[in-house]
Structure 1
Amino acid sequence: MENEEYDTIDLLEVLNAVRQHIAVLILCTLATAIAGFAITHFLITPQYESSALMIVNTRQDTTSTVTIDQINSATKLVSTYSIIIKSDTVLQQVIDDLGLSLSYSDLKGRVTVSAVDDTQVMKITVRSNNPEWARQVCDDITAVSPDVILEAVEAGSVKVISQASYSDVPVSPNIKKNTMLGAMVGLVLCLGVIFLQVILDNKINTEEDVAKYLDMTVVGVIPVYEGGKNK
């Protein structure tokens, strides 16, 4: 039976190659980190959010005692009310009230309605590149939606418990995250190139390579001379 020979990857050789190219590795990592920071900071438009909280009730009379069944029913109604809030009945009225120059579908894409920790409290969030615009739209949604919900469901009610917030701190993009991501991309790409150079290099460069790849003992080395001088 013939002996089969397999190429193996010498991790020490790979690590040695990485050590030899450590300066290039650092430069590539810094370059892509700076690129990630620059793209995020200068080319991506910051986005801001405004949020308001509303509580859902299954009845309009708030004088009687609230039971567990009523709370559970109200919690289930949150998903129904969220659909109504994002309907054209509510959002088109908001567009008309504020004189917004965008379509219903565009505004719907900027509005998020969700339950808070599976409770009867729902959170309305509006995202925009203008924090004041987001606050105004969120505020008008909370003003318009209760009457529309009451008319549509004909039972229960919603009440604002937290007015639309204003924040001039953008929620996206995340400059720190994108900078770190850029650095990781540069590091991985550079390591990949070094790794490929090692596994694709089939040249005999040193005495150790002769012994390793040709299974021969090196008995002497002939120096190379150029112009009468030892190279």
Structure 2
Amino acid sequence: MAKSRLDRMPSNDLNEMKEIDLLELFRAVLKYIRLIIVLCIVFGAGGFLGTKFLIEPTYTASTSIYLTPQINDTGSLDYSSQMANGLLVTNVVNLLTQNNVMSEVAKDVGLENADAVKKFVNVTNKQDTQIVTVTATTGDPKLSKNIANGTVTTFINTMQKNLNVRNIEIVDKAKLSYVPSGPSIKKNTMMATLVGGVIGVGYAVLKFLLDNRLRTKEEAEKYLGIPVFAEFPEV
């Protein structure tokens, strides 16, 4: 099994050779700098073209609902109502994607079933608030808008009908946008370029580590442990 130049050196020379090998490693990488640049360009171009022409764009629409606190007789906010809304928020996040809500939305937007809608919907709650945001991401901007708005509308109607909960209001309805939310061409191009660079540098490092030749008089002296009295010049 071939050993690297460091493995062949006596232990008392390892520290010195480590410093020398780092310089040699840097030179070895520089020797393949053209290959590294070409790989970066090729992979970067592949990432750009692949993202632009092969990956379908996605469109995102968001809407928010707010759990409004009650007003007491003095005209101020009811503190107990605020506390109750704070506890209710977690339940609202979970209830928004229940099958009864998702099934109704699926019928309205023309999807097969509740599961088909769920995979497009994401529900979040901003910390320390009673605001819940419903986000829908699909390959069709109109479908994203309809899913987001349909989810909150169906949920509010369900809560009013079944639980007599009437303090949920829509803060901001989802709007139609033809600007893609993903994928990011810039991000994918940079990542592909980085992959190309890593492959190029890795190839240079691997070639260096697998090269077991003694190239200089100093390397021969350290490996053999005896002085070298003559060497043939490179022709």
TM-score (norm 2): 0.82
| Alignment-derived partner of residue 148 in structure 2 | 138
Query: Residues 63, 40 of structure 1: CA spacing in aligned structure 2 closer, same or farther, 3 A cutoff?
Result: farther
Query: Gapped runs of 5+ residues in structure 2?
Result: 1-8
Amino acid at match of 2:167: S
Are the equivalent residues in 2 in contact too, given 1:51–1:135 (CA < 8 A)?
Answer: yes
| Alignment-derived partner of residue 52 in structure 1 | 63
Query: Gapped runs of 5+ residues in structure 1?
Result: 225-230
Q: Offset of 1:157 from its aligned partner? A: 2.6
| Alignment-derived partner of residue 227 in structure 1 | none
| Alignment-derived partner of residue 131 in structure 2 | 121
| Alignment-derived partner of residue 82 in structure 1 | 93
TM-score (norm 1): 0.83
Distance 2:115 2:69 in 1: 29
| Alignment partner of 1:73 is 2:78 | no
| Alignment partner of 1:164 is 2:178 | no
Are the equivalent residues in 2 in contact too, given 1:51–1:164 (CA < 8 A)?
Answer: yes
| Alignment-derived partner of residue 191 in structure 1 | 201
Q: Offset of 1:152 from its aligned partner? A: 3.8
Distance 1:113 1:5 in 2: 63
| Alignment-derived partner of residue 3 in structure 2 | none
Are the equivalent residues in 1 in contact too, given 2:121–2:134 (CA < 8 A)?
Answer: yes
Are the equivalent residues in 1 in contact too, given 2:67–2:131 (CA < 8 A)?
Answer: yes
Query: Residues 152, 64 of structure 1: CA spacing in aligned structure 2 closer, same or farther, 3 A cutoff?
Result: farther
Distance 2:167 2:54 in 1: 44
More moved, 60-69 vs 24-33: 60-69
Q: Offset of 1:92 from its aligned partner? A: 1.1
Q: Offset of 1:144 from its aligned partner? A: 1.6
Are the equivalent residues in 1 in contact too, given 2:71–2:77 (CA < 8 A)?
Answer: no
Matched residues, percent identical? 26
Are the equivalent residues in 2 in contact too, given 1:56–1:159 (CA < 8 A)?
Answer: yes
Q: CA-to-partner distance for each residue in 1:162-185, whole Å, 9 max, x for gaps? A: 111222222221111111111111
CA RMSD after TM alignment: 2.7
